[in-house]
């Protein structure tokens, strides 16, 4: 059997590669076809369509790991943010109590209810809820009742004084001081 073409090559989708004939310097010679090779042939002509299951699983695992890291980081920053926001709100509540004492001409207090986990100003309807995991430590703070602590502000602008530290375990804490003579509040620092 003779073939007039230089070579005839057949490839199939499952990776079968067979050479049927060959040529030497333009002359066709009868050559028996070599045995066919079965296997996966990866060459430039073969066009892969889509992704393999393993490639998809690797991508899914990487996306899941990245999502977990983002969630953990966001969770920590939200807790830290919660401490900072509560500290700012409590300072604002104390400033409002001082302003009310000066304007009304009567003593006002910021009451901290440890059992009910809330803070409020006497003579005002404003209430702050203390976050569940937050600890509040005070020095020089008055106690008006059992489990009720108070920061007093007087009509002349002075206060009972004291220092408060707000903290959540494992997070940064905030401290501020209430000046006894002026009733003004000042941040004493961040802890942790």
In this prediction the pTM is 0.56
**Domain membership flag for residue 106:** yes
The residue segments making up the domain with residue 150 are 84-191
The residue with greater pLDDT, 133 or 79, is: 133
**Domain membership flag for residue 53:** no
pLDDT value of residue 38: 47
Q: What's phi and psi for 153, nearest 5 deg?
A: -125, 140
Indicate the pLDDT class of residue 58, thresholds 50, 70 and 90. very high
The residue with greater pLDDT, 57 or 22, is: 57
Please give the mean pLDDT across all residues of the chain.
Answer: 74
**Same domain assignment for residues 31 and 119:** no
pLDDT tens digits, 130-150:
888 888 888 888 888 888 888
pLDDT value of residue 48: 64
The residue with greater pLDDT, 21 or 65, is: 65
Indicate the pLDDT class of residue 57, thresholds 50, 70 and 90. very high
**Same domain assignment for residues 37 and 106:** no
**Same domain assignment for residues 141 and 186:** yes
**Same domain assignment for residues 113 and 171:** yes
Indicate the pLDDT class of residue 60, thresholds 50, 70 and 90. very high
**Same domain assignment for residues 44 and 88:** no
**Same domain assignment for residues 91 and 23:** no
Domain count, the chain: 2
**Domain membership flag for residue 64:** no
The residue with greater pLDDT, 13 or 105, is: 105
Distance (Å, whole) CA 11 – CA 24: 23
Distance (Å, whole) CA 140 – CA 93: 18
**Domain membership flag for residue 61:** no
pLDDT value of residue 10: 46
**Same domain assignment for residues 44 and 89:** no
């Amino acid at each position: 059997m003779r073939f007039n073409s230089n070579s005839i090559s057949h490839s199939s989708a499952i990776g079968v590669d067979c050479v049927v004939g060959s040529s030497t310097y333009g002359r066709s010679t009868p050559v028996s076809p070599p045995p066919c090779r079965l296997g996966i042939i990866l060459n430039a002509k073969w066009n892969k369509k889509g992704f393999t299951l393993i490639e998809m699983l690797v991508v899914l695992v990487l996306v899941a790991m990245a999502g977990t890291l983002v969630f953990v980081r966001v969770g920590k920053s939200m807790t830290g943010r919660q401490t900072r926001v509560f500290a700012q709100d409590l300072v604002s509540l104390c400033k409002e109590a001082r302003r009310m004492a000066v304007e009304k001409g009567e003593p006002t207090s910021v009451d901290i209810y440890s059992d009910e986990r809330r803070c409020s100003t006497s003579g005002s309807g404003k209430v702050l809820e203390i976050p569940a995991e937050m600890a509040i430590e005070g020095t020089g703070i008055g106690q008006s009742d059992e489990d009720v602590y108070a920061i007093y502000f007087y009509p002349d602008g002075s206060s009972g004084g004291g220092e408060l530290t707000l903290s959540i375990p494992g997070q940064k804490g905030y401290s501020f001081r209430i000046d006894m003579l002026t009733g003004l509040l000042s941040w004493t620092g961040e802890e942790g």
